[in-house]
Amino acid sequence: MNYQLLTQAFETYFNAKPTIIVRAPGRVNLIGEHTDYNDGFVLPMAIDREVCIALNPRGDETLRLFSFDLQTDAVFNLHSLRPSDGWEAYPQGVANELIKAGYTLKGFDGIIAGDVPRGAGLSSSAAVELATAKAFAAVSGFEWNAVQMAKLCQKAENEWVGVHSGIMDQMASAACKAGYAMFLDCRSLEIEHVPLPSHVSVVILDTSTRRGLVESAYNERQSQCAEAAKRLGVKALRDVSLNSEKWKAASEKMKEEGELGKLVFKRARHVISENERALEAVEAMKKGNVKRLGELFNESHESLKNDFEVTNEALNIMVDCAREQAGCYGARMTGAGFGGCAAALVNDENVGAFVKNVSAAYRLKSGLEASVYVCKASEGASLI
């Protein structure tokens, strides 16, 4: 982000200089997809695309926020919050959860701007939420507890905005470390920062397709997973492994139980195998085994495509185009799916040619224009 531009915009709009700038990043998930709401494992990294707020504290309890990207403002009193359906629902929801959790909030004048593509599966909403929380921490003078802030922001998204996402995006935006991916146990919320292998880049491949009706499909997947856990007699799918007797017996039974049984079986097989892949990916990263990491990317995509059924044609084409390029170790869709982005693991030496050629190949096969970013693993929410 261009902080100077943001400062200038603040000066123009509020006729004063901002005293504080905060930022929170978007994320790309390396592996562990649709596992977070199954108490499983994920491996996201924060990217160098972020949401920033330049601000000045006010003496009262009013929040006045101008969206630079949408060129609209929102003004509300922190003690009479009512949900609205615009972008301001995110900062409102965060304020509401912070207040409910007992924080005393002070108001501020702020300009919010970002360069995380919206609806692309790179967690622009978590970035808005965490930037808001960081802004309140700075203005109101409370201590920053990344895990607690992530949980409150997730609650804001679930209950105020009404999107039933898991905890991964908020944890990534709150707690990632520059240069590292973050291995997260979504049950205990224990974190391990795992360094990215040297000589490879993570390349984000935006298909330019956007997920429609994602919420209903996402919620449907959640209930199918819950149904599978119930049939398996476990708290969550995290508690099952593929070579356990429990899985062998239950999966045979599911397959015999008509269409629904077969569907639930496939959903469960994705989640259980994806958890195993996420665990193996961390080991591969620690050993610098990029080849294996790339294979796990590929296996993850196939499972999301065939068993979890959350890819679309554009994502499948993109992944195929990426895998054909020299120096690509593996590629997979990332985020919720149904459109949005894929991520590829590419040898540094080949990155320049990869970016050029993958875009051309994708254009040829899909007729669509891709946006391609080579991204850097960046720091979770911070003060500038």
DSSP annotation of 234 reads S
- Tell me how far, at minimum, the Cβ of 252 lies from ligand GLA, in Å: 28
Among the listed ranges 49-57, 128-136, 163-171, 238-246, the one in contact with ligand GLA (CB under 6 A) is 163-171
Q: Which of residues 10-29 bind ligand GLA (CB under 6 A)?
A: 29
- Report the C-alpha gap between 182 and 283 in whole angstroms: 13
Residue 49 CA to residue 53 CA, distance in Å, equals 14
Distance CA 81, CA 77 (A): 7
Name the residue nearer to ligand GLA (CB basis): 316 or 325: 316
Min CB(168)–ligand GLA separation in Å: 5
Alpha helices in the chain (DSSP H): 3-14, 89-100, 124-140, 146-155, 168-175, 214-232, 245-255, 258-287, 290-306, 313-324, 351-366
CA 221 to chain CA mean position, Å: 17
What whole-number distance in Å separates Cα of residue 347 and Cα of residue 104? 49
Q: Does 328 bind ligand GLA (CB under 6 A)?
A: no
Q: Can you tell me the distance from the alpha carbon of 33 to that of 310, in angstroms, rounded to the nearest whole number?
A: 10
The answer to whether residue 115 is catalytic is no
Q: Does 34 bind ligand GLA (CB under 6 A)?
A: yes
Distance CA 337, CA 123 (A): 12
Residue 335 lies near ligand GLA (rule: CB under 6 A)? yes
Say whether residue 206 binds ligand GLA (CB under 6 A). no
- Taking CB under 6 A as the rule, does residue 284 contact ligand GLA? no
User: Which residue number, 110 or 166, has a Cβ lying nearer to ligand GLA?
Assistant: 166
- In the bound state with ligand GLA, the residue whose beta carbon lies nearer, of 168 and 205, is 168
CB atoms under 10 Å from CB of 60, counted, come to 11
Position 168 contacts ligand GLA (CB under 6 A): yes
Q: Does 165 bind ligand GLA (CB under 6 A)?
A: yes
Q: Which of 36, 109, 169, 239 is catalytic?
A: 169
Q: Work out how close the CB of 110 gets to ligand GLA at its nearest, in angstroms, rounded to a whole number.
A: 24
Residue 344's region, left for phi above 0, alpha for psi from -120 to 50, else beta, is beta
CB closer to ligand GLA, 30 vs 361: 30
37 binds ligand GLA per the rule CB under 6 A:
yes
Report the interhelical angle of 245-255 vs 258-287 (nearest 10°).
140
Q: Which one among 336, 341, 344, 370 touches ligand GLA, defined by CB under 6 A?
A: 336
Task: Report, in Å, the least distance between residue 29 CB and ligand GLA.
Answer: 6
Residues at the site binding ligand GLA, with contacts judged by CB under 6 A: 29, 33-34, 36-37, 165-166, 168-169, 335-336
Active site positions, annotated: 169
